[in-house]
Amino acid sequence: MMTQEVDRKMRQKFMITSFLALLLVSLNFTNCRSPNLPQSLHIKIGGHTSQFGTPIKIAEAKGFYAKQGLTPSIRLVDSSKESMAALVGGDLDVIIATFAAGSFNAIRQGDLVVIADGGRAIPNVIIRKDLWENRSIKRLADLKGRSIMTPREGSASYYGLARILQGINLTIGDVKPKALSETAALAALEGKQIDAAILAEPEATNAVEKGLGVRYDVSEVSKFFPPNGEQFMGIFTLRKTLTEKPELLLKFLTAYLEGVQFYDRARNSNQPERSETIQIISQFSHADPAVLDKAIWVYVPLDGRPDIGLIKEMQDYFIQQKLIDSPVDLNGMIHLELLAEKK
């Protein structure tokens, strides 16, 4: 009887000892993971449905965020106005958004900062096809008095149109700007409700391929802009996030710029990057791959540094047009120190 009791206690002691040993091994495995495996951090990113949003989606598709220990959730938007509001409201950590009058106002009111370039382009001037073919519009000067689509007053495309008009001695007051979305602009061209449009890719090429419009000679339009085009987009975050979570943003920028490098190789027709990138864009924009291959791909600098001089010119124009309440201190708005740290 006593022997059985001793055996029972020994078995019980063995089970407890074994359980504690397994528990210690488990805790050791959890807390002492290999230094080569980065701890995953969640980051909420505001993307864009235009071609400008491509590097952000490449970084996701190719695992560049995961390589930096990031788990991204990406919200795609058609309008930067939506992503700006989400950033200010704390729903997003970092976004790609346009440099527009509303952006400058949001920067001042919401204390936002720019941490990298989001992309540049020569604006696509699409002339309604019947007006081009009957020679009603053959020169940029023929746009005088015409209805021209831009996404909204004070948008980056609106500024691009103003800069083109200035180059031919006209002003925005000499035309009839009409605020429409990219998709609505295609329907308006087809319905002959507008005469021309400033369209982003891939909708610019889409309009041409559908026979709705003719792209005005890009080499002529480019004369009114810096070599790499107008500064359309930037990478924005909250000043508070920059101060409190610099490591998170540095990891994001490292992954993002790796996506930019991949995109740049695709832009220069290198394979397999070109085919893979077209597939990625097609998946998030639902654009025809054949259209994407014919599109004029936007420029994103490999070093991530925006054209600060052109951003200042944009702000000056918006102030002149009374579209900005008061000027933003660009020195306080643009923070590129994480790009320098990345090097």
pLDDT tens across the length of the chain (343 residues): 444 443 444 454 444 344 434 333 343 434 444 444 446 799 999 999 999 999 999 999 999 999 999 999 999 998 888 999 999 999 999 999 999 998 888 887 778 999 999 999 999 999 999 999 999 999 999 999 999 999 889 999 999 999 999 999 999 999 999 999 988 999 999 999 999 999 999 999 999 999 999 999 999 999 999 999 999 999 999 999 999 999 999 999 999 999 999 999 999 999 999 999 999 999 998 899 999 999 999 999 999 999 999 999 999 999 999 999 888 888 889 999 999 876 5
What is the predicted pLDDT for the residue at 105?
Answer: 86
What is the predicted pLDDT for the residue at 330?
Answer: 87
What is the predicted pLDDT for the residue at 35?
Answer: 45
According to DSSP, residue 51 is labeled G
What is the predicted pLDDT for the residue at 40?
Answer: 73
Distance from C-alpha of 339 to C-alpha of 343, rounded to nearest angstrom: 7
How many angstroms from the chain centroid is the CA of residue 293?
Answer: 19
Report, in angstroms and rounded to the nearest whole number, the Rg of the chain calculated over CA atoms: 26
Domains 41-120+230-342 and 124-224 share a fold: yes
Q: Which of 65, 87, 120 is nearest to 250 (CA)?
A: 65
What is the predicted pLDDT for the residue at 81?
Answer: 86
Residues 143, 145, 151, 152, CA torsion sign: positive
What is the predicted pLDDT for the residue at 310?
Answer: 94
**Residue ranges of domains in the chain:** 41-120+230-342, 124-224
Give the distance between the most distant pair of CA atoms in the chain: 112
Distance from C-alpha of 97 to C-alpha of 86, rounded to nearest angstrom: 12
**Class in CATH terms, 41-120+230-342:** alpha beta
Question: Would you tell me which CATH number, out of the four given (3.90.870.10, 3.40.228.10, 3.40.190.10, 3.90.550.10), belongs to the domain 124-224?
Answer: 3.40.190.10
Kindly report the pTM of this predicted structure. 0.85
